[in-house]
Structure 1
Amino acid sequence: MNREQEYVARITALELELKNTQQVALFGCFFLIYSSLAYFFQNITSLKLFPNASLKSFEICDMMIQFSK
């Protein structure tokens, strides 16, 4: 492989890695919003949908961040 092809391959790999990281972060944000809303409605209506929902969502987001590294 010449130098130009090597650079193109590296850039392509970095773009794919960035895309995967963005997808994981986006999923984490949606999950955090969803679980926060569930926790809010649990406190308002006392439905007990997700006990300790906010704590669990932060733990899952931390695991997702560690996995994406």
Structure 2
Amino acid sequence: MTSTTYQVKGMTCGHCVNSVSTEIGAIAGVSDVQVDLAAGRVTVTSEAPLDLATVRAAVDEAGYDLVAA
């Protein structure tokens, strides 16, 4: 298992948290998604390291911007 924390810009409410969690959670191999709304951080636990482009695409699909990994 591996855990990576990403900075996500634009999240402001519980709906934002749900959208980001759902999209990232749908990535193959992801077992857990924890969102710290106040800090704008998303910690993803997965079976293997995730491709940054895949995570970025999921965050974009949710309507937010991946700032950094």
Shared fold by TM > 0.5?
no
More RCO (CA 8 Å, sep 6+): 2
Bigger strand share: 2
Alignment TM-score, normalising by the size of structure 1: 0.29
Larger Rg: 1
Structure number having the greater helix percentage: 1
